[in-house]
Chains A and B, each alone.
Chain A
Amino acid sequence: MMNLRELYQDIILDHGRHPRNFHGMPGASHFAHGHNPLCGDRVTVYLKLDGERIVDVSFEGRGCAISTASASLMTEIIKGKTIDEAEALFKSFHAKVTGAEPLAVPPALMEDEERLDPLTGVKTYPARVKCATLAWHAFEAAVKSGAVGATVKTE
């Protein structure tokens, strides 16, 4: 088993304690609820889209340090990106945390991809992988559902 500090790196503890973009969004164009029935964690991701571009993103909810930090980092990283860029980041992140075949991202996104690396420590804690991906699943569901909202479960 790896060292605990590799799982709970300072940046994760920091984002877990002081999540960024942690609020509702009255004028959201898209939103979705994410729910992990296994642990009861809940997150709601709000998006303001201008065409393909994510002009604003925020989240609300309650969860563990990993899921809160993951949601917080996600909002920082995908703000200003296009939906395709955000999806590409999620796909590569998902492959990393589940131990699947690595997926390359376009060079322009490599720096953002690396910012997610502190979260990839969950791959040696199978029970915790869903904590790290919950907000991203909610983001995907929000894009698909539009202003009517949706609920996505990690199970």
Chain B
Amino acid sequence: MSIVSNLRPRVLRALDPRAIRRDFPIFERNPGLVFLDSAASAQKPRQVIDGVAEYYRTDYANVHRGVYRLSSSSTDQYEKAREIVRRFLNAESTDEIVFVRGTTEAINLVAQSWGAACLKPGDEVLLSDIEHHSNIVPWQLLRERIPIKLLSVPLDATGGFDLAAFERLLSPRTKLVAIAHISNVTGHVLPVETVIRMAHARGAKVLLDGAQAAPRLPVDVRALDVDFYAFSGHKTYGPTGIGVLYGKRALLDAMPPWQGGGSMIETVTLEKTTFLEPPHRFEAGTPDISGAIGLGYALDYIDSVGRDAVREHEEALTGYAVQRLAALPGVNVMAAGQRQLGVVSFTVDGIHPHDLGTVLDQHNVAVRAGHHCAQPLMDHLGVVGTARASFGVYSDETDADALVAAILKAQEMFRG
């Protein structure tokens, strides 16, 4: 047990999850809840809940429409949220920040707008074996319209993105590399800096699915020099129904609209319509105003905790959980490459992930069980599914301990 006691102070140093937990009403309403499913969706701090409620109570009106004061102040708040996102990603301009419904919609937007306009038959898009379905299916749908080739970068023996294989797959035909920043299944942090450098050297663009990374580590799109970056509000402690597509200005400028309607036009006649500049060109119809404002509150909240502190905390906690799980007989932790953050997947011998999920739930431990929308990865791992524990700013080592205790109970029950 000396390992355990050595680790604990380190887990607690970066931030104080007990104090943070007081910001999250869900834990007050559900005493004893061991919430280990933040990778699916994070809980919401009262700053977000109250901020959205306050906006509806005092400032609500449609945006970019009315000349009256309420509409202007609503527009101001909506556009201020865009500025908060810009800062969060260190983008150059708010023109590069498109509000969408979530990571899934962001990737679909790139596939249907940039992909349809810029890709030609025979062009190649590189994905990886670790991708979420939302970074596979949009490209397959595009392939039905334009005969592009989809290639997948395999994982190496450590469960990491195989850079050598990636280098072999890169070719002059590669036009886009679309990969996760952090795997939603294993927590593997992909070597995105190297990938971006190598892709750019071959003239390919790079899209990062930042759904798991945005809430867990500082993201600087300019330092990364990434072309597109997508993330979801609800995984970054914000509301559901809002997300972000970052795109380099020059790329967005050249992209056609993907949905038509109000808010995205300059002039409309029945013969011809001209469109607004980005980002509004890609925001047809009344947007999720309160969602964007709530996302602003959420990103401010993460900043107030400190993004380096969040990363350090989750790194230490992930290491602790992996160590405890790996020490359990009959428990197999899925390999996650050189770096792992915030997420750990595992199987338990003789217990199907769904049975395990039900038993853990009975012990108030909420984990995700199943294929995690990553069936190609499940095939690669040779499992039907896994159980997955994932952490947030409110998680601490007692959550990992509760998970381990509940697994022992499940093993006891299914032993025989």
Residue of A nearest to B385 (CB): A40
Encoded as 1 (CB less than 8 Å from any A CB) or 0, chain B from 341 to 381 comes to 00000000011111100110010000001110001001000
Shortest CB distance A92–B (Å): 24
Among B351, B370, B413, the residue within 8 A (CB) of A38 is B370
A40 close to B375 (CB less than 8 A):
yes
Chain A residues closer than 8 Å to B352, beta-carbon distance: 63-65
Chain B residues closer than 8 Å to A14, beta-carbon distance: 416
Stretch at the interface among A1-9, A52-60, A94-102, A137-145: A1-9
A4 close to B375 (CB less than 8 A):
no
A62 to B370, CA, bound (A): 13
Among A1, A7, A65, A128, the residue within 8 A (CB) of B414 is A65
A66 to B355, CA, bound (A): 8
Within 8 A of B (CB), among A33-87: 38-41, 62-66
Within 8 A of B (CB), among A109-155: 125, 127-128, 131
Shortest CB distance A49–B (Å): 30
A40 close to B378 (CB less than 8 A):
yes
Shortest CB distance A48–B (Å): 28
Chain B residues closer than 8 Å to A8, beta-carbon distance: 355, 359, 413-414
Chain B residues closer than 8 Å to A63, beta-carbon distance: 352, 384
A16 to B354, CA, bound (A): 13
A17 to B384, CA, bound (A): 17
A10 to B352, CA, bound (A): 17
Most A CB within 10 A of own CB, among B358, B359, B370:
B358
Chain B residues closer than 8 Å to A62, beta-carbon distance: 384
A-B contact pairs, 27 of them (CB 8 A): A1-B362, A4-B413, A5-B413, A8-B355, A13-B414, A14-B416, A16-B355, A17-B416, A39-B369, A39-B371, A39-B384, A39-B385, A40-B370, A40-B384, A40-B385, A41-B354, A41-B384, A62-B384, A63-B384, A64-B352, A64-B354, A64-B355, A65-B351, A65-B352, A65-B355, A128-B354, A128-B358
Among A7, A13, A17, A40, the residue within 8 A (CB) of B358 is A7
B359 close to A4 (CB less than 8 A):
yes
A40 close to B414 (CB less than 8 A):
no
Q: A residues engaging B (CB < 8 A)? A: 1, 4-5, 7-8, 13-14, 16-17, 38-41, 62-66, 125, 127-128, 131
Shortest CB distance A123–B (Å): 13
A62 to B353, CA, bound (A): 12
Shortest CB distance A13–B (Å): 6
Given known A-B contacts A4-B362, A62-B384, A39 and B416 have beta carbons under 8 A apart: no
Residue of B nearest to A10 (CB): B416
A16 to B356, CA, bound (A): 14
A7 to B362, CA, bound (A): 11
A7 to B371, CA, bound (A): 23
Residue of A nearest to B362 (CB): A4
Chain B residues closer than 8 Å to A66, beta-carbon distance: 354-355
Chain A residues closer than 8 Å to B355, beta-carbon distance: 8, 16, 64-66
Known: A7-B358, A13-B414, A66-B355. 5 other contacts (CB 8 A): A1-B362, A4-B413, A8-B359, A8-B414, A13-B416
Chain A residues closer than 8 Å to B371, beta-carbon distance: 39-40
Most A CB within 10 A of own CB, among B351, B352, B378, B414:
B352
Shortest CB distance B399–A (Å): 20
A17 to B413, CA, bound (A): 12
B354 close to A39 (CB less than 8 A):
yes
A128 to B370, CA, bound (A): 12
A41 to B383, CA, bound (A): 11
Interchain residue pairs A-B with the least CB separation, the first 5: A64-B352, A64-B354, A65-B355, A64-B355, A4-B362
Residue of B nearest to A62 (CB): B384
Chain A residues closer than 8 Å to B416, beta-carbon distance: 13-14, 17
Chain B residues closer than 8 Å to A41, beta-carbon distance: 354, 384
Chain B residues closer than 8 Å to A125, beta-carbon distance: 358
Chain A residues closer than 8 Å to B350, beta-carbon distance: 17
B362 close to A131 (CB less than 8 A):
no
Chain B residues closer than 8 Å to A13, beta-carbon distance: 413-414, 416
Shortest CB distance B410–A (Å): 9
A17 to B350, CA, bound (A): 8
A13 to B354, CA, bound (A): 14
A1 to B358, CA, bound (A): 11
A128 to B413, CA, bound (A): 18
A121 to B43, CA, bound (A): 30
Shortest CB distance B162–A (Å): 25
Given known A-B contacts A64-B355, A65-B414, A39 and B370 have beta carbons under 8 A apart: yes
Chain A residues closer than 8 Å to B384, beta-carbon distance: 39-41, 62-63
Chain A residues closer than 8 Å to B358, beta-carbon distance: 4, 7, 125, 127-128
Chain B residues closer than 8 Å to A5, beta-carbon distance: 413
Shortest CB distance A68–B (Å): 8
Residue of B nearest to A68 (CB): B352
Chain A residues closer than 8 Å to B369, beta-carbon distance: 39
